[in-house]
Chains A and B, each alone.
Chain A
């Protein structure tokens, strides 16, 4: 038993729903009690879908438990088939139905429905949402994909986009366009937009493009093994990775057509002098493994940030992420405990977070700007405009969205020059954000702003201080003149410096000696 306040991933049957909802002419029968229908609103509200997810819930109640829940399941499956006439039927159990062990797959098999019935084993008490996506898609491929002759021209399948994915809609469009420029047609993109009949003809493609290992890696590996289709390993997020992806696709396809880079702006936007202020900004990355690993490289190599911490919530990606973190000189944080992530961010005191909607809340509480790079996401992360993360346009989008939360160029300098201005101060927030600036009470302790947000943990009774190091009043006052977003780091560096030097008091001089000591 583990206490969870907020979760990064839903249960595995929600993952299976993401696959089913992205597809056409497929229906899913979920053995589940009343209330599990909440999952519909994820799609209709957060993603603003205009159709109900293609899912029928058996809706068993307490009084059914002693009676015939299996009969209820079979009735639901028959009704769903009659009403929706799908090309194939997925059947699965939610967490509660798993406990009553009706075996929906076995029951459905005995019913003689005239369409393929694909049972899913979704161990709710061990696995999570991404597993559900990956497993549902794998089982669909295993059940439906037939050996077929390759298309005459070189084609590929795109694997991974699902309903409720972070920017999947636009990534799919961007990568489809890129491949088309290279003269490669998309045979089937799945699950999003595909029907069971489309899955059946996936074997026609010459190779596969795997966009999201979280949702489709098992299917990609199975297709490689059974249909002899190699798949791409590069995730085309950022300009450098997109170029590497193009090379990988060329090697798989033999394409030699040139790719137009004229609309790629990230490299020049990052090189232009206005971006100097981005140099060495300390960022903390957290999200799914794939997006974090891709974003870490972009942050370091294309934006000039310093990656100060990184981690992911999906254990499936722990190994490669740990390896990359080591390469960055860091220890990866692998956890799905939101409070642990919050503590780690507090400890690192980064200048920006690249995270999920959870980290957006952490950032709000700690006063650290945050841009979203990964699921889980909320309604504002499904923009009306075209906004991919992948390909060259995706790189442009990354630049804009990562810079937007920051205090910009000269504004940052002005904050440093006139730190105590009552209306133009670091807690007022970047001036290009429309919100009302908070006018600071002249004597209010600056750090109060963070505490007032109402933190997860009771505020510490005294400021953190290592080994009885005491801050003299003047030094404490000086510390408060340091912009809020680096103050935590300055405090800890100074305390560390003082204790290393065996000092018991921190004066203004100590503060600046520490600053010089840690200068980059």
Chain B
């Protein structure tokens, strides 16, 4: 159908994966949903992951915590449920501001088959209607990094109220500033009201029905997509709103659903689009002609590769993604010129062999790999920063390009000081 990558055979690998589990999503979700608490039912490892991945203790007391399973909980199930009820009661007594409580399953809770959906039902009975208790799994045996957000949002969908109104629903946890920009653009185009999932507070939760049209703002929301379709809502397929081109295509797809002509969109977005192109051009001068290798991390790799190859002049060598959702990523793959290896899953040692053989100008990877690769003389971009930074829509398109340009600019600035020029630090 096109010259893109949709038909490119996917290199599927399985082996050691150097990725976070889905619990990590709690770090941004708990800031986005201001009256929600995320209670992980897991081990000391889960608690340690959350505080390590969070850049450690940026908030006096976060709205998340871990109910750490102990030896005695593993002995008998009834015991574990009683213990959970007690911890939840104590928590809610201490935090009366909490209106939504997510019980988050972990590897250990899944393995011992602790039924958190029944626990959530039971606890909703005790603490509702003031507090809504839901559950999802962020375990590493089932979810990779951003899939935790997907599982969380999908768990909310069945509980959302019903409506017949024709409304647009934006799906995905966006930074507040980005969400406001998106709503403003959509209003100018003539689309309103617009609902958001997740909402900032439980009281603003959107309603869902057969006339709900939803657009995903993140490429990792496959289960949420399926859950919304089960509620009868209709998906607006589009590339994701990254870069000037992606944002425009996304807005036009949404506008078309609401019977608004593309010319109207062009007219509204002319100024911000021009600003975005100008800002991208500034960073693209650094990125032009550079070769990039994506290790799998957040499922943002495919849209970002599309943006960097089409708008910044980069060449993609390999685009790794932890999970490739054909329906959601298809429109993106159509736009990426054939050439790069598309890989799904990971065997990290084999993939590092390919990185070393290709010696890309920039490798996008997790925090565990970045410094070791830098020490080998390879520039890296930590993938997690791409998830923690506002990068959607026109006003952030330049920032997105700059995130990739900065490691290259820094390397140029530090040429003679770079660790690969020195003895290894030990």
Report which A residues bind B (CB closer than 8 A).
1-7, 9-11, 13-14, 33-42, 44-46, 48-53, 56-62, 64-65, 76, 79, 83, 94-96, 99-100, 123-126, 128, 193, 339, 357-358, 361, 365, 378, 453-458
**By the criterion CB–CB under 8 Å, are A128 and B372 in contact?**
no
**By the criterion CB–CB under 8 Å, are B45 and A52 in contact?**
no
**By the criterion CB–CB under 8 Å, are A50 and B367 in contact?**
no
6 interchain pairs, CB-CB under 8 A: A3-B87, A7-B44, A38-B53, A39-B48, A45-B371, A83-B349
Mark the stretch among B15-23, B178-186, B221-229, B334-342 that contacts chain A: B15-23
Q: Given the complex, which residues of A lie within 8 Å of B121, measured CB to CB? A: none
Q: Given the complex, which residues of A lie within 8 Å of B91, measured CB to CB? A: 3
**By the criterion CB–CB under 8 Å, are B141 and A34 in contact?**
yes
The answer for the CA separation of A49 and B150 in the assembled complex, in Å, is 33
Q: Which residue on B lies nearest to A94, using beta carbons?
A: B45
**By the criterion CB–CB under 8 Å, are A49 and B425 in contact?**
yes
**By the criterion CB–CB under 8 Å, are B107 and A2 in contact?**
no
Q: Given the complex, which residues of B lie within 8 Å of A51, measured CB to CB? A: 372, 375, 424
Q: Which residue on A lies nearest to B96, using beta carbons?
A: A458
**By the criterion CB–CB under 8 Å, are A1 and B80 in contact?**
yes
Interfacial residues of chain B within 307-334, with CB under 8 A of chain A in the complex: none
A267 to chain B, nearest CB (A): 34
Q: Say whether B370 faces chain A, with CB atoms less than 8 Å apart.
A: yes
A86 to chain B, nearest CB (A): 14
Interfacial residues of chain B within 125-140, with CB under 8 A of chain A in the complex: 139-140
> Nearest 7 A-B pairs (CB), nearest first?
A35-B21, A35-B140, A40-B368, A50-B375, A1-B83, A96-B107, A41-B367
A78 to chain B, nearest CB (A): 12
The answer for the CA separation of A124 and B71 in the assembled complex, in Å, is 9
Q: Given the complex, which residues of B lie within 8 Å of A123, measured CB to CB? A: 71
Q: Given the complex, which residues of B lie within 8 Å of A33, measured CB to CB? A: 21, 107, 139-141
The answer for the CA separation of A216 and B367 in the assembled complex, in Å, is 29
A386 to chain B, nearest CB (A): 14
The answer for the CA separation of A79 and B349 in the assembled complex, in Å, is 10
Interfacial residues of chain B within 11-51, with CB under 8 A of chain A in the complex: 14-24, 39, 41, 43-45, 47-49, 51
Interfacial residues of chain B within 359-414, with CB under 8 A of chain A in the complex: 366-372, 374-375
Q: Say whether B56 faces chain A, with CB atoms less than 8 Å apart.
A: yes
B59 to chain A, nearest CB (A): 8
Mark the stretch among B108-116, B212-220, B267-275 that contacts chain A: B108-116
**By the criterion CB–CB under 8 Å, are A37 and B144 in contact?**
no
**By the criterion CB–CB under 8 Å, are A48 and B371 in contact?**
yes
Q: Given the complex, which residues of B lie within 8 Å of A4, measured CB to CB? A: 44, 47, 65-68
The answer for the CA separation of A293 and B426 in the assembled complex, in Å, is 31
Q: Given the complex, which residues of A lie within 8 Å of B70, measured CB to CB? A: 1-2, 125-126
**By the criterion CB–CB under 8 Å, are A361 and B367 in contact?**
no
Q: Which residue on B lies nearest to A53, using beta carbons?
A: B368
Number of B residues whose C-beta is below 8 Å from A? 71
In the complex with contacts A2-B67, A96-B141, A40-B43 CB distance below 8 A: no
**By the criterion CB–CB under 8 Å, are A44 and B44 in contact?**
no
A501 to chain B, nearest CB (A): 35
Report which B residues bind A (CB closer than 8 A).
14-24, 39, 41, 43-45, 47-49, 51-53, 56-57, 59-62, 64-71, 73-74, 80, 83-84, 86-87, 90-91, 94, 96, 107-108, 110-112, 139-142, 144, 349, 366-372, 374-375, 419, 424-426
The answer for the CA separation of A13 and B107 in the assembled complex, in Å, is 15
B220 to chain A, nearest CB (A): 15
The answer for the CA separation of A193 and B84 in the assembled complex, in Å, is 44
Contact of B62 among A5, A64, A358 (CB under 8 A): A5
**By the criterion CB–CB under 8 Å, are B47 and A361 in contact?**
no
**By the criterion CB–CB under 8 Å, are A124 and B368 in contact?**
no
In the complex with contacts A34-B17, A94-B45, A96-B107, A50-B372 CB distance below 8 A: yes
Q: Given the complex, which residues of A lie within 8 Å of B107, measured CB to CB? A: 33, 35, 95-96
Q: Which residue on A lies nearest to B374, using beta carbons?
A: A50
In the complex with contacts A35-B20, A35-B140, A96-B141, A7-B369 CB distance below 8 A: no
Q: Which residue on B lies nearest to A125, using beta carbons?
A: B71
**By the criterion CB–CB under 8 Å, are A62 and B141 in contact?**
yes
Q: Which residue on B lies nearest to A43, using beta carbons?
A: B368
Contact of B140 among A34, A378, A453, A455 (CB under 8 A): A34
Q: Given the complex, which residues of B lie within 8 Å of A38, measured CB to CB? A: 20-21, 24, 49, 52-53, 368
**By the criterion CB–CB under 8 Å, are B84 and A1 in contact?**
yes
The answer for the CA separation of A18 and B246 in the assembled complex, in Å, is 44
**By the criterion CB–CB under 8 Å, are B44 and A128 in contact?**
yes
Q: Select the residue from B23, B111, B370 with max chain A CB neighbours within 10 A.
A: B111
**By the criterion CB–CB under 8 Å, are B371 and A7 in contact?**
no
Q: Given the complex, which residues of B lie within 8 Å of A378, measured CB to CB? A: 56
Q: Given the complex, which residues of A lie within 8 Å of B87, measured CB to CB? A: 1-3
A297 to chain B, nearest CB (A): 29
In the complex with contacts A2-B67, A50-B371, A11-B43 CB distance below 8 A: yes
**By the criterion CB–CB under 8 Å, are B51 and A37 in contact?**
no
Q: Which residue on B lies nearest to A10, using beta carbons?
A: B48
The answer for the CA separation of A353 and B283 in the assembled complex, in Å, is 45
**By the criterion CB–CB under 8 Å, are B69 and A44 in contact?**
no
Q: Which residue on A lies nearest to B142, using beta carbons?
A: A62
Contact of B74 among A2, A100, A125 (CB under 8 A): A125
The answer for the CA separation of A10 and B53 in the assembled complex, in Å, is 13
